[in-house]
Structure 1
Amino acid sequence: MALLKEESYTIEDIYALPDGERAELIDGHIYYMAPPSYKHQKLVMELSAIIRNYIKQHKGTCEVLPAPFAVYLDEINNTYVEPDISVICDPNKLDDKGCKGAPDWIIEIVSPASRKMDYLLKLFKYRSAGVREYWIVDIAKNRITVYNFNHDYSIEEYSFTDTVKAGIYEDLSIDFSEINIL
C-alpha cells in the first residue's frame, strides 16, 4: 500500500522530491510510489502501442502518454497524478509540464502497492475531474474493469481472454488474449 504523510502538501513539494523518487499528490497528501514490475511495464508499453497505432492509422489527434507523465487534475495545485497511460484529445491541455485537467481516457495497471489507490481514491478523483473513461487492469486478478463516465456511467468487467472496447472511440477494441506479458 502507498505510504501517506499526514501533512498538507503542494505541487512544490512534489518538485522538491529527490531525483528518482516518485510520488503522487492527491488532495494535499503525498503517496509515494514503488517501482513498477516487469509485467506492469510490459503491459503499459503493449497497451500504449496498440492505442497509439490505432490513433495514427485513423489520423487522430489524441496523444497517448505513458507514465511517468504529469497530470494536474485541479487548478489549486494539490492533486498531481501519474497515470500508467493517459490519452489526451484536447491539445490545449498539454504543455511541457504535462496535462492540465482531465485526460479523456486513463488506464491504471494495478500493482500490490497501488490497489487501494486505483480502485478507490483515483476512481473518485478521475470521475470528479471529468475523465471520460477509466480502465483498471489488474494482472493478479486477471481482470479489466472499465468505467465509462462519458454517457451512462457504466461499469463492465472483463478477463485477459476478452476483447475490450474503448468507449471513447467508435471502433477500437483491444484483444487482451493477444497480449503476452509473461
Structure 2
Amino acid sequence: MPLPKEQYTSKDYWALPEGSRAELIDGQLYNMAPPSRIHQEITFQLARKLADYIDSKEGNCKVYPAPFAVNLDADDKNWVEPDISVICNPDKLTDRGCSGAPDFIVEVVSPSSRRMDYAHKVSLYLDAGVREYWIIDPLKKYTTVYLNEQDPAEFAPIIFPFESSIKVGIFSDLSINISQLL
C-alpha cells in the first residue's frame, strides 16, 4: 500500500528514517514488511549459490541481497530493493547501490508483497531492461521465471515447482533447485 502523498522523489526515499524500508515505484513510496524466516533462508542460500558460482568462474558479476537500492531507470521515480540483484556491469554500481537495471533480479514472495511482485514489478523490471526475473513463492512452492532476452512474440513466464532444476538464463551452465536450498 503506498504512503499518502501525490509524488515522492529520490530525496524522499533517501530521507526515510534509519531502519525504515520502502520502495519508490512510479513516484509512490511503498512500505516493506520485515521478511519471514523462510524468506530469509531462501534469499541467503540462493545468493550464496550464485556468488559461489560466480567466484568459481572468476566472473565479474556481483550478487547483492536486500537491502540494496536499485535505481532501475536511473531517474527520480523508481528505487527498488529486490531480494537479490545480480549486476554484471561494474559501471552501474555506485555508493548508493545500482544505477540502471541489474542483469538478474529475484523476489521471494511475502504475503504483503504478492500483488506487487507478480503484477507491477514484472513490467517494471522487464521494461527497465532486467534480463532475467525470478519470483520465488514459498507458499505455493514454485518459481516463476521471466527471460527478457526471448523473442517478444514468444515471451511468456515459465513456472517451475521447487523440486525442478531451473537453468539460470544469464549463466549458461548453472541450474538451481530451490528445494535443495531449503
Fold agreement, TM-score > 0.5: yes
Matches within 5 A, 1:54-69: 54-69=53-68
TM-score normalised over the length of structure 1: 0.95
Q: Identify which of 145, 166, 171 aligns with 2:168.
A: 166
Instruction: Give the partner amino acid of 1:162.
Output: S
Does the 8 Å contact 2:2/2:28 carry over to 1?
no
Secondary structure in 2 aligned to 1:169? coil
Asked if 1:128 is matched to 2:130, the reply is no
Length, aligned pairs only: 179
Partner of 2:137: 138
Q: Quote the Cα distance in structure 1 between the aligned partners of 2:75 and 2:60.
A: 28
Does the 8 Å contact 2:85/2:106 carry over to 1?
yes
TM-score normalised over the length of structure 2: 0.95
Partner of 2:33: 34
Partner of 1:157: 159
- CA shift for structure 1 position 4: 4.1
Secondary structure in 2 aligned to 1:9? coil
Q: Quote the Cα distance in structure 2 between the aligned partners of 1:81 and 1:172.
A: 26
Partner of 1:177: 179
Instruction: Give the partner amino acid of 2:162.
Output: F
Q: Percent identity among equivalent residues?
A: 51
Partner of 1:110: 109
Runs (4+) off by over 6 Å: none
Q: Quote the Cα distance in structure 1 between the aligned partners of 2:5 and 2:84.
A: 28
Instruction: Give the partner amino acid of 2:168.
Output: A
Q: Which runs of 5+ in 2 are unaligned?
A: none
Does the 8 Å contact 1:5/1:31 carry over to 2?
no
Q: Which runs of 5+ in 1 are unaligned?
A: none
Secondary structure in 2 aligned to 1:21? coil
Q: Quote the Cα distance in structure 2 between the aligned partners of 1:69 and 1:161.
A: 29
- CA shift for structure 1 position 154: 4.0
Which digits, 9 at most, give the CA deviation of each residue in 1:133-156, with x for residues without a partner? 000000001110000011333421
Does the 8 Å contact 1:67/1:85 carry over to 2?
yes
Q: Which moved more, 1:11-20 or 1:86-95?
A: 11-20
- CA shift for structure 1 position 21: 1.1
Does the 8 Å contact 2:66/2:82 carry over to 1?
yes
Instruction: Give the partner amino acid of 2:35.
Output: P
Q: Which moved more, 1:149-158 or 1:8-17?
A: 149-158
Partner of 1:15: 14
- CA shift for structure 1 position 91: 0.4
Secondary structure in 2 aligned to 1:112? coil
